């Protein structure tokens, strides 16, 4: 069995998986030729939102492990059937009570993880959002606290996540539309399940 296999049975038909050489490496594959499932590994997409209001950035304090008590951008995993901009707007509202709309993409992180039992790969996209309304509030459980903080205030706070601070500094120092913008009229525009992001056109200055 390939070392990366983290599952034993086919998630589509329940047949026990067998090793198969595919694309230059051994993978766990379903021997049922009609099914044809191949396990390529664990993939996930996360998102986080930088929301700036009057020079202060929205942060939430984690209530759960790991890293309980640390401060970070609101965010989480995108559902498999959820547009990414909708995912980050949902997370900002759910975790911090702020209604906000995506403006552009600040950056993304790619990380490889997992254990000896199976590998995983993750993309974590950090968006900049414009606040539309609401005041910081949270559930007091998964999220212990939420609020807007300046960089000076953040410097006095313990355990502000490094990636969150990095993104906030980028957002505060960059021009208003410096990031990748949602392409509303681009290829595939209006096609369900598609979102395209691109460099700023010169006309936006």
The residues binding Zn ion (CB under 5 A) are 10, 12-13, 15, 30, 32, 35, 37
Cβ 41 to Zn ion shortest distance, Å: 17
For Zn ion, give the closer residue by CB, 16 or 53: 16
For Zn ion, give the closer residue by CB, 7 or 189: 7
Tell me how far apart the alpha carbons of residues 172 and 177 are, in angstroms, rounded to a whole number. Answer: 12
For Zn ion, give the closer residue by CB, 7 or 68: 7
CB 24 within 8 A of CB 38: no
CB 124 within 8 A of CB 111: yes
Cβ 83 to Zn ion shortest distance, Å: 29
Pick from 108, 73, 100, 131: which is nearest to 197 by CA? 108
Cβ 22 to Zn ion shortest distance, Å: 14
Cβ 14 to Zn ion shortest distance, Å: 7
3-class SS of residue 152: helix
**How, if at all, do strands 56-62 and 42-53 pair?**
antiparallel
For Zn ion, give the closer residue by CB, 6 or 35: 35
CB 2 within 8 A of CB 28: yes
For Zn ion, give the closer residue by CB, 13 or 174: 13
Cβ 202 to Zn ion shortest distance, Å: 51
Tell me how far apart the alpha carbons of residues 179 and 71 are, in angstroms, rounded to a whole number. Answer: 24
Q: What are phi and psi of 46, to 5 degrees?
A: -110, 165
């Amino acid at each position: 069995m390939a070392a990366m296999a983290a599952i034993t049975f086919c998630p589509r038909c329940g047949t026990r998986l067998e090793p198969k050489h595919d694309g230059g490496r051994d993978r766990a594959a379903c021997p049922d030729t009609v099914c044809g499932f191949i396990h390529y590994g664990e993939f996930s997409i996360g998102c986080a939102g930088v929301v700036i209001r009057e020079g202060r950035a929205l942060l939430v304090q984690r209530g759960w492990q790991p890293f309980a008590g640390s401060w970070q951008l609101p965010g989480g995993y995108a559902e498999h059937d959820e547009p990414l901009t909708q995912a980050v707007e949902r997370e900002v509202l759910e975790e911090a009570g702020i209604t906000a709309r995506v403006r552009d993409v600040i950056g993304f992180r790619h990380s490889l993880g997992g254990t000896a039992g199976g590998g995983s790969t993750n993309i974590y996209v950090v968006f900049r959002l414009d606040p539309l309304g609401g005041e910081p509030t949270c559930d007091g459980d998964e999220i212990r606290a939420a609020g807007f903080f300046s960089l000076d205030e953040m410097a006095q706070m313990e355990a502000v996540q490094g990636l969150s601070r990095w993104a906030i500094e980028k957002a505060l120092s960059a021009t208003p539309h410096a990031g990748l913008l949602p392409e509303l009229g681009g290829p595939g525009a209006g096609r369900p399940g598609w979102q395209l992001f691109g460099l700023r056109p010169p006309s936006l200055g």
